[in-house]
Amino acid sequence: MLHQLYSGFGRAAYPLLTFLRPAILRLPERLSYSFDQRLGWFPRQPDAPEARRTIWLHGSSVGEVQAAIVLGAELLRTIPAMRLVITSTTEQGQRLAKSRMPAEVPCLMAPLDLPQAVRSALDAVRPDCYICLETELWPVMLAELRRARVPMLLLNGRLSQRSLERYRWIRRTMAALLDGFQRVAVISEADGRRFAALGVPPDRIEVCGNLKYHMETAPLQQARAASRLRLGVTSEPVFVCGSTHEGEEALLLQAFQALAERLPVLWVIAPRHLERLPAVEAFLHRSGIAFDRFSAMATQGRRSRVVVVDTMGDLADLYAGGDFVFCGGSLVDRGGHNVIEAARWGRAVYFGPSMKDFRDAAELLIEEGGGFQVADGGALADLMLRHAAEPERYAFACAKAAEVAARQRGAVTRQADMVRRVLARC
């Protein structure tokens, strides 16, 4: 009944939207962007040789598109003569896909979830397989795909407890939607249990990790030794603060000073944007803090207990040399940064309350005991001192962080294998 009402409303709305199209196209770009594609008016894909398969890969916004880029690159690399089409529901997501994918890969705006728009888009793309990332479940799209007998996969699936409780109110509808997916790849065991609670048969669910956080890594001890050599340290602890934003260094100084009262700690500050370097250095001067620029240390050595990273591309490896690691953009309201980048080196990760851009990764680390969310610089200082005084507890947290990161490393391979298995059967 719900689906019929939803589809009926969409069917009635489509003629009105096409009638209003000339007026809509004159609206500001944020409202009219790629409106023809939203109506399902896709550029028709050329006929392909019979052996060539077309995969439609859909991610909602920037976060999901990041995952789509990782998976898409792996599919293009491993499936000969494959044709890939990527769609997004946001302008930012589409622009990101266009900037990162080969020019021959169409990166389009997804059709509105209206029967006429979806059918038009399907007729243009003619997919052999449809991949939906996370929980981007559009009822009309899924129903039309089933009607066209297009195999569907839900990959990189995640479902919070809050979403599960909300979906329980329409469990039968959700079960019907999810039943169309031949396979469901989830990020964690907890996600798998929640999808099963909504009616997905357990034998269709596979825990695969998170595509967004797939990254290769060098052997830990080798990377740690190299990083600490570049920082000029031997046994002294290192406090790495990565991707910091305006106002954050002042909060982190409190934590560094509290730690420095107890330990001979080195503080490494890596601003997210290099144009902020003059402001960061001016702040340290005002605070009476001597520092070295990382770029100068290769020739001049290190002369102080604070290092400002003034180069691009070094932070990811410098995390390996840290003993205490903080991920920035989170004590100030900037949405946080990629905590898995630090966790992969076997270090527990500290971060502030603003993690909306990397909420899933933060929740994974917190659930497993490998990540710690703090309210401010004082709470960060207290927690680091507690961990320094309880090395066994801290070592356990570091091991958990490494486990979470390790699960993500095979995510792209496992999910691409799932796609290949489904294609082989159709």
* pLDDT greater at residue 418 or residue 364: 418
Q: What is the DSSP string of 220-259?
A: HHHHHHHHHHHHT-SSS-EEEEEEE-TTHHHHHHHHHHHH
> Which residue matches tokens 């990162």?
100
Give the mean pLDDT of the chain.
Answer: 92
Averaged pLDDT, 27-38: 92
The pLDDT value given to residue 343? 95
> What region, left, alpha or beta, does residue 23 occupy, with left being phi > 0 and alpha being psi -120 to 50 degrees?
alpha
The C-alpha atoms of residue 385 and residue 378 are separated, in whole angstroms, by: 11
**Is 54 within 8 Å of 48 (Cβ atoms)?**
yes
Averaged pLDDT, 237-263: 96
Domain residue limits, the chain:
22-42+52-214+410-425, 220-408
The C-alpha atoms of residue 413 and residue 373 are separated, in whole angstroms, by: 30
Type of residue at 305: R
Confidence label for 76 from pLDDT (cuts 50, 70 and 90): very high
The pLDDT value given to residue 267? 98
Residue 316 has pLDDT above 90, yes or no: no
The pLDDT value given to residue 401? 96
CA 110 and chain centroid, separation: 20
Q: In what order do the strands lie in the sheet with 107-109?
A: 107-109, 83-88, 54-58, 129-133, 152-157, 181-186, 205-207
Confidence label for 406 from pLDDT (cuts 50, 70 and 90): confident
Confidence label for 149 from pLDDT (cuts 50, 70 and 90): very high
Which tokens go with 224? 């740690």
Paired with 271 in beta bridges are 244
The C-alpha atoms of residue 400 and residue 337 are separated, in whole angstroms, by: 19
**Of the given ranges (55-59, 160-164, 204-208), which has the lowest mean pLDDT?**
160-164
The pLDDT value given to residue 48? 56
Query: Residue 305 has what DSSP assignment?
Result: S
Averaged pLDDT, 11-37: 93
The pLDDT value given to residue 151? 97
Residue 412 has pLDDT above 90, yes or no: yes
Helix runs in 287-390, H state only: 297-300, 315-318, 340-343, 359-368, 377-389
Domain 220-408 has CATH 3.60.20.10: no
Give me the half-sphere count of Cα atoms (radius 13 Å) on the Cβ side of residue 179: 8
Domain covering 22-42+52-214+410-425 in this structure, CATH number = 3.40.50.11720
Q: What is the DSSP string of 93-140?
A: HHHHHHHHS-TTS-EEEPPPSSHHHHHHHHHHH--SEEEEETT---HH
Confidence label for 29 from pLDDT (cuts 50, 70 and 90): confident
Neighbouring residues of 134: CB distance < 8 A, sequence distance ≥ 6:
59, 60, 63, 64, 67, 156, 157, 158
The C-alpha atoms of residue 279 and residue 302 are separated, in whole angstroms, by: 21
The pLDDT value given to residue 31? 86
Q: What is the pLDDT of residues 375-393, one digit of tens each?
A: 999 999 999 999 999 999 9
The C-alpha atoms of residue 67 and residue 154 are separated, in whole angstroms, by: 13
Confirm whether 22-42+52-214+410-425 and 220-408 share one CATH topology. yes
Q: What is the pLDDT of residues 80-110, one digit of tens each?
A: 888 999 999 999 899 989 999 999 999 999 9
Q: What is the pLDDT of residues 300-314, one digit of tens each?
A: 999 999 999 999 889
Residue 282 has pLDDT above 90, yes or no: yes
* SS3 of residue 88 by DSSP: strand
